[in-house]
Structure 1
Amino acid sequence: MRRSPWATLAVLALAQFIVVLDVTIVNVALPDIQTDLGFSADSLQWVINAYTLLFGGFLLLGGRMADLLGARRVFVGGLILFGVTSLVAGLANSPEFLIGARAVQGLGGALLSPAALAILTMTFAHGRDRNIAMGVWGGLAGLGGTLGVVAGGVLVDSLSWQWVFFVNVPIVIALVAVVPVFVPDLRHHVGRRTFDTLGALLGTAGLLSIVYGVVRSEPRGWASFEVLGVLIAGVLLMVAFVFVERRSAAPLVPLGLFRSRALSISGVSLALNGASFLSMFFLTAIYLQQVRGDSALDAGVHFLPMGIAAIVGAVLSAQLVQRLGTRTIQLAGTVLSAAALLWLSQAHAAGSYATELLPGFILLGFGIVAVSVPGQITAVSEVRPAEAGAASGVVNAMYQVGSALGLAVVTTLSISHTTSELTHGATQQHALEAGFERGLLVAALFAVANALLTLATPQLQPTAEQLTEATAAA
């Protein structure tokens, strides 16, 4: 049966849309989730981190499964898992229940996202059509992040927080129903049919242990047996992960890729970029509602200019990077991000949104994509064409993991400062405001470190095709 490739693109892009939507739509629901399910201040971040860590930790395995089992089969399996766990998350009645559902939901995203991209690249040959398809893919993904904050606010205010998860279910059902009609079962030849499940489990378990240790350091202290134990366990698991990858015939993470200085530096840069952005998003979503008194919808609308700036910034970055080079634009992005975070850190509860928050949101929207677009291009600039897919997967996983680790550090330091202020007699509002300021200053330090790191990246003049693929991946 002959299928329209553009109909295939519509199905794939909509699936990626809901995966990205799910990251932002949940943030504005966090205060309601915290109140309803009784989350503590330090455990609330796991609603985000459980999803992010499992998504990043199993992203490469998802890509490998798509290669070995067939991309359409893995795509459908990931969709179903994502839909079922969205339903389960909406039905959660305890923090542990919701965190578990979010973790498995992240696994579903890690299966469907690389499978969808694999189908897209096999459906469209190199050239104009693929460039258009990748542009649509990246554009809809960016739109999902932007609309998520407003959609989350509408759902929370008009229905309940549960609907930020329930909304995925009918979309997933519709997508699964039309996949056999519109999505071809394409396969390409692969070498040895080997999974690296052990590598994925060791790497993800190690990262989870390290993040858990950072989070527990606030209530328990860095010298406690619990914190030291899980941190040491995390490091040992990561050492075991590297050992397994070095000896594997078909490693999940080809360690030889890190011989590329451009990939190593750009991967860390994108991780720092994710750490700054996710930390800001998490803290500000809570600050807007718990300190400034916004409704969920108001908070979503207040975030909207940042999303619009990011979309415009992606277009401008793609144009300017060809004229000025990757390092110039990336450095400008880190400076904009640092300035934005410093600006936002000075906001006050009774201050004007137009003067204290809006400029920071707009600057950050431009800054984040001005780092990610050239960073993606630079990351794969020194790898062989046959390794480009693996390199892109590694860099995307580093972004997700960096986001989760950064959120853990920032949230822990923010909560610690809030607790200290309360102990010294500050009011609840003042203490929360002080914690918000401390967290954003730490996020700004990530951006400053990123600026220094960017100075070591090469200056490249990308082709139009490299720009299109980087914009889609950013």
Structure 2
Amino acid sequence: MTSIGLGPAYAISVPYVGKDLHIQKENLQWILNAYSISSACFLLLCGRLADLYGRKRVWLIGYLILVVFGIGSGFAQSEKALDTLRGIQGIGSAAVIPASLGILAKAFPPGQSRSIAFATFSAGAPIGAIFATVLGSVLTQVTKATWRTPIFLLSGVALASMVLGFFVFEEDEPSTEEDTRVDWIGAALITAGLVLIVFVLSDSPTARKGWRNPHIIALFVVGVLLVFLFVAWQYYLERRLENPDLPRTRWTAPPLMKPSMWTRAHGRFAVMQTIACVNWAAFTIWIVWVELYYQTYLNLSPIHTMLRLLPMFASGIVANILIALTIGRFDVMYIVAAGTLLTGCADVLFAVIDPSAPYWAFGFPAACLIVLGADFTFASGTLFIAQVSLPHEQSVAGALFQAMTQIGSAIGVSVSTIVFNSVLRTQSRRLGVVADAQGDNVPLPAQLKAYKAAMWTGFAFGILCTLLCVFLRGAGVVGHVPDSPAHPNPEEGVPVDEKRQESADQKHHATP
């Protein structure tokens, strides 16, 4: 919950950070993006390290990074120092999240208890976000408009969480894999590739020429090329791993991510990961543009903005209670489809919003629906991924799911910002006004059309997700015990060597 809440705590106080540290408006985004980029790009490596060397150990190290560099961020006196500290802090989040999913998957066997555990974990997103938003809003406004107080407080909460986890979590068991080396070549390729891609997606909306800027295109092409090289390298390592006659060398460690994972459950593993990416784009679009709409279009204070987002807290709790009670009764395809459709509905409410209408007409139902949609998709998606993944790769599978949501967030912000800026310029010209580089002094009617256009973009992402759910047909019910006929078979598409590894894992866990 704490690692999720660090983003909203900064988001609500970004304007005050800019004033205090004299940061130009176009550079304010990097206070948030530095954390998001490092978090997204180190997830896969941290997930693999957690599976190999202990999930509790990686979890504690992650929280230690969050605490130390969170405190450091609170003392930052310059833009570069803050961005650097936030970037390193994101690595802590990348360590905590996949390790948490691995701990849950190990502690709770498939069944109702696992459904409740994963639903509770999913509740951390809305609870953490709203908790941080409330603290950030109130403390930012009442403590002489400073952004440092909520950051120190959340760092203290992170420290308390780390101490609690140290005493509560069971000790790590040694990995059952014969070869516990780390594929550092693959780690370097995927980390560098994702850094470039997410950086471009984050920077392109505010770059002077956007996607027409040569360095934006060049970095994006290099990033995509590195990701393709990573996939090819992982395929090569997996093929070598399947052939026991080939000798082992210092360069051929087990793959960081087996490409065959994406074929699990007849390819539904890949479909679920894609849905997570696209749905999170729709979710992030709502979060980003609603906060801007309230603060820059309606000119509401941080506290008044927070009050309008507060229903998300209760909605998140309700959503995860519903997931815990129903996940073992309905086909996961219908639950995910309902979630993606609700996300799209939340976006469309702001796409057609009437600013003169009362909050209860558009803002309130949208705040309730957006969390219902996100949590339905997140909770059922993580359960499905856990059930079609083998015991020794739970953290990696969870890291992939989280990385896809982070990439989706970057895509959503980038695409919706391009749409927003394009509509803003077009509407300004129609009204005979030339918008400046910062988009300031633009007539309110032009701003409103631009906000609505961004929200229509989110709606399109949400509906695309709903259509993709067709490819989950036959996935079955998640949350049942493995012998249940409705349960998806985790061995569908699993190579023989991995089945042997799973058998070894089960024997290891059954040994007193």
- Determine if the alignment matches structure 1 residue 165 to structure 2 residue 165: no
> Which residue pairs with 2:268 in the alignment?
262
Q: Which residue of 1 aligns with 2:204?
A: 216
Which digits, 9 at most, give the CA deviation of each residue in 1:69-98, with x for residues without a partner?
A: 444433332222111221222233444333
Q: Which amino acid aligns with 1:462?
A: V
Amino acid at match of 1:202: L
Say if 1:57 and 1:401, in contact at 8 Å, map to a contact too: no
Corresponding residue number in structure 1 for 2:175: 189
1:86 equivalent to 2:73? Answer no
Distance 1:364 1:443 in 2: 11
* 1:406 alignment partner in structure 2: 412
In the alignment, the residues of structure 1 paired with residue 327 and residue 115 of structure 2 have an alpha-carbon distance, to the nearest angstrom, of 17
**Structure-2 change in CA distance of 1:71 and 1:342 (3 Å):** closer
Write the deviation string for residues 100-139 of structure 1: whole angstroms up to 9, x where unpaired.
2222111011123333444555566777876665565444
| Aligned partner of residue 199 in structure 1, secondary structure | helix
**Aligned equivalents of 2:276, 2:407: Cα separation in 1:** 10
Aligned to 1:46: 30
Q: Which moved more, 1:343-352 or 1:116-125?
A: 116-125
User: Are residues 1:150 and 2:150 paired?
Assistant: no
**1:418 corresponds to which of 410, 417, 424:** 424
Superposed displacement of residue 410, structure 1: 1.8
Structure 1 counterpart of 2:501: none
C-alpha distance in structure 2 between counterparts of 1:343 and 1:197, whole Å: 46
Measured after TM superposition, the shift of residue 371 of structure 1 is 2.5
Amino acid at match of 1:435: A
Q: CA 1:34/1:411 → structure 2, altered by over 3 Å: closer, same or farther?
A: farther
Tell whether 2:442 aligns with 1:428: yes
Q: Does 1:450 align with 2:438?
A: no
2:37 touches 2:199 (CA, 8 Å); kept in 1? no
TM-score normalised by L of structure 2: 0.78
> Matched residues in 2 for 1:183 and 1:323: separation?
30
- Contact (CA 8 Å) 2:337, 2:466: kept in 1 or not? yes
Q: How far did residue 263 of structure 1 move?
A: 0.6
Cα distance, 1:457 vs. partner? 1.1
Match of 2:370 in 1: 364
Aligned-partner Cα distance in 2 for 1:169–1:400: 22
| Structure 2 residue aligned with 1:201 | 188
Q: Is the contact between residue 339 and residue 372 of structure 2 (CA under 8 Å) also seen in structure 1?
A: yes
Which of 326, 332, 355 matches 1:326?
Answer: 332
Alignment of 1:22-61 (within 5 A): 22-39=6-23, 42-61=26-45
For the 8 Å contact 1:31–1:286, the answer to whether it is kept is no
User: Between the two proteins, what is the percent identity of the paired residues?
Assistant: 26
CA 196–166 in structure 1, closer or farther in 2 if over 3 Å, else same: farther
Match of 2:478 among 438, 457, 462: 462
Question: C-alpha distance in 1, partners of 2:347/2:51?
Answer: 41
Amino acid in the other structure paired with 1:337 = T
Q: Deviations over 1:233-267 (max 9, x none)?
A: 22222222223323343222211111231111110
- Indicate yes or no: 2:94 matched with 1:110: yes
- The match for 1:339 is 345
1:183 and 1:381, CA in 2 relative to 1: closer, same or farther beyond 3 A?
closer
Q: Partner letter of residue 254 of structure 2?
A: A
Contact (CA 8 Å) 1:151, 1:300: kept in 2 or not? no
The 5-angstrom pairing of residues 285-364 of structure 1 reads 285-364=291-370
Kept in 1, the 8 Å contact 2:101–2:398? The answer is: no
Q: Among 374, 377, 381, which residue is 1:375 paired with? A: 381
Q: Which amino acid aligns with 1:287?
A: Y
C-alpha change, 1:198 and 1:348, in structure 2 (3 Å) is: farther
Q: Equivalent residue of 1:148, what SS?
A: helix
Distance of 2:292 and 2:19 partners within structure 1: 12
Relative to structure 1, is the Cα distance of residues 61 and 247 closer, same or farther in structure 2, using a 3 angstrom cutoff? same
Report the CA distance between 1:392 and its aligned residue: 2.9
Distance 1:442 1:43, change over 3 A: farther
C-alpha distance in 2 between matches for 1:339 and 1:189: 44
For each residue in 1:340-398, what CA deviation from the matched residue of structure 2 results, as whole angstroms up to 9, or x when unmatched?
Answer: 21111233555422223112222222222232333334445544555454333322221
Between the aligned partners of 2:280 and 2:61, the Cα distance in structure 1 is 28
Q: Would the aligned equivalents of 1:153 and 1:300 in 2 still touch at CA under 8 Å?
A: yes
| Structure 2: gaps spanning 5 or more residues | 238-252, 436-440, 483-512
Conserved 8 A contact 2:419-2:453: yes
The corresponding residue for 1:397 is: 403
* Secondary structure in 2 matching 1:455: helix
Q: 1:333 to 1:140 in 2, by over 3 A?
A: closer
More displaced 10-residue stretch of structure 1: 439-448 or 390-399? 390-399
Task: Note the 1:209-288 alignment, pairs <5 A.
Answer: 209-214=196-201, 215-216=203-204, 219-248=208-237, 249-260=253-264, 261-288=267-294
Amino acid at match of 1:170: G
Q: In 1, distance between residues paired with 2:346 and 2:415?
A: 19
Cα–Cα, structure 1 residues 76 and 318, in superposed 2: closer, same or farther, change >3 Å?
closer
Shifted more, 274-283 versus 424-433: the winner is 424-433
**Alpha-carbon distance between aligned partners in 2 of 1:97 and 1:415, rounded to the nearest angstrom:** 30
Q: For residues 314 and 176 of structure 1, do their structure 2 counterparts lie closer, same or farther at Cα, with a shift above 3 Å needed?
A: closer
- Going by fraction, where is helix more abundant, 1 or 2? 1
8 A Cα contact 1:329 1:374, kept in partner: yes
The farther-off stretch of 94-103 and 151-160 is 94-103
Q: 1:435 to 1:197 in 2, by over 3 A?
A: farther
Match of 1:98 in 2: 82
